[in-house]
Amino acid sequence: MEWHQACGMVQNMLEVKNLHKKFGSNEVLKGIDFQIDKGEVVAVIGPSGSGKTTLLRCISFLERADQGTITFEGLHYDMQHITSKEIRKLRLGMGFVFQGFHLFRNMTALGNVMEGLVTARKVPKAAAKKTAWEMLRKVGMEDRAMYYPDQLSGGQQQRVAIARAIALNPQVILFDEPTSALDPELTGEVLDVMRTLAKEGTTMVVVTHEMRFAMEAASRVVFMEGGLVVEEASSAALFSDPKEERTRQFLRRTIADYDRG
Ligand SMILES: Nc1ncnc2c1ncn2[C@@H]1O[C@H](COP(=O)(O)OP(=O)(O)OP(=O)(O)O)[C@@H](O)[C@H]1O
Ligand SMILES: [Mg+2]
């Protein structure tokens, strides 16, 4: 048992410490500390190749970290020695929404949202269907419930993917650039759904290039570069008064890109 469990201290819902990851000789994460509290929305920003996706993949054990610890829902693990049984248990508390929507092509929107409930969570079909309808309503996709993915726009497919994630009622949802595969006019509808979830107190980690979303919907922003956290602060502080020169440069560049686009 860890000392903070022993003395009953309040702790973050999810915390990783000293996370290291190499691909061959390429050191992609160089000792990342990251934490999120219940109800927080944390945006992770940073240039391409800075390790943002790798961070999410290590947190969710899609990728095995070389070193580091993870604390989730009060349980503490060494990432090198965690067992596959422990990984399975830990992943039950996490939801994932990635850039590609990964919906089953041979199932309707409703079927896609029901699938995890029925197979992974063993929820009876009737109850799963009821939950799936509720979740589709929540993301504004009720009228498309019987459509197949190929009959839906990218934004609609991503909203189904979000419905599928929230249906499983995870403690935290990890988003990796959920709008980057979408045309600009479809980005807004997905961000609107995420803003609603944020307002409802859903705990979310969002890797994003959408600076406006980070500014408006995130409570805290983490700026990564070169496999390190360069700066983290409340969203208001990071955007209005960044402390690090590298953060200032990144924000200047990104905002200039916006103005050109
Ligand atoms: N499976 C892999 N095998 C080898 N190298 C990898 C692998 N995944 C990522 N990398 C390398 O790790 C580095 C960080 O990649 P990562 O995808 O985490 O960056 P990112 O911050 O998400 O970038 P982007 O904003 O472009 O999505 C890159 O140099 C990339 O080439
Ligand atoms: Mg990425």
The share of the chain scoring above pLDDT 90, in percent, equals 86
CATH code at position 191: 3.40.50.300
56 inside domain: yes
CA distance 261 to 256: 9
pTM (two decimals) = 0.93
- Same-domain check for residues 24 and 89: yes
Domain extent for 188:
3-93+171-260
- Same-domain check for residues 192 and 152: no
Give the model confidence (pLDDT) of 128-175 as tens digits. Answer: 999 999 999 999 999 999 999 999 999 999 999 999 999 999 999 999
Ligand 1 center from residue 23 Cα (angstroms)? 9
pLDDT surpassing 60 at residue 45? yes
pLDDT score, position 261: 56
Ligand 1 center from residue 139 Cα (angstroms)? 30
Phi, psi of 162 (to 5 degrees): -70, -40
Pocket test for ligand 1, best of 27, 50, 66, 222 (most atoms within 8 A of CB): 50
Are residues 185 and 216 in contact, defined by beta-carbon separation less than 8 angstroms? no
CA distance 210 to 194: 12
Ligand 1 center from residue 53 Cα (angstroms)? 7
Final residue belonging to a domain, choices 116, 140, 169:
169
203 inside domain: yes
Nearest CA to ligand 1 atom 13: 49
Nearest CA to ligand 1 atom 6: 23
What is the rounded average pLDDT of the residues 46-57? 97
- How many domains is the chain partitioned into structurally? 2
Q: How far is CA 56 from the centre of its chain?
A: 7
- Same-domain check for residues 176 and 159: no
pLDDT surpassing 50 at residue 2? no
- Same-domain check for residues 83 and 177: yes
- Same-domain check for residues 88 and 182: yes
Pocket test for ligand 1, best of 19, 29, 54, 176 (most atoms within 8 A of CB): 54
Which protein residues touch ligand 1 with a CB less than 6 Å away? 23, 26, 28, 46, 48-54
pLDDT surpassing 70 at residue 259? no
pLDDT surpassing 50 at residue 8? no
Give the model confidence (pLDDT) of 163-208 as tens digits. Answer: 999 999 999 999 999 999 898 888 999 999 999 999 999 999 999 9
Nearest CA to ligand 1 atom 18: 51
- Same-domain check for residues 245 and 176: yes
**Residue 19 corresponds to which tokens in the numbers above?**
């996370």
98 inside domain: no
- Same-domain check for residues 7 and 79: yes
For the chain, the average pLDDT equals 92
123 inside domain: yes
60 inside domain: yes
- Same-domain check for residues 37 and 138: no
Sort strands 228-234 and 220-225 into parallel, antiparallel or unpaired. Answer: antiparallel
CA distance 73 to 15: 9
pLDDT surpassing 80 at residue 9? no
Final residue belonging to a domain, choices 169, 192, 218:
169
- Same-domain check for residues 214 and 180: yes
Beta bridge mates, 95: 173
- Same-domain check for residues 175 and 89: yes
DSSP letter at 124 equals -
- Same-domain check for residues 165 and 178: no
- Minimum-distance ligand 1 atom for the alpha carbon of 47: 25
20 inside domain: yes
Final residue belonging to a domain, choices 148, 169, 190:
169
- Same-domain check for residues 40 and 144: no
Top-confidence residue, 180 or 20: 20
pLDDT score, position 99: 85
Ligand 2 center from residue 53 Cα (angstroms)? 4
CB atoms inside a 10 Å sphere around CB 201: 11
Nearest CA to ligand 1 atom 7: 23
Of the ranges 63-67, 96-100, 138-142, 245-249, which one carries the lowest mean pLDDT score?
96-100
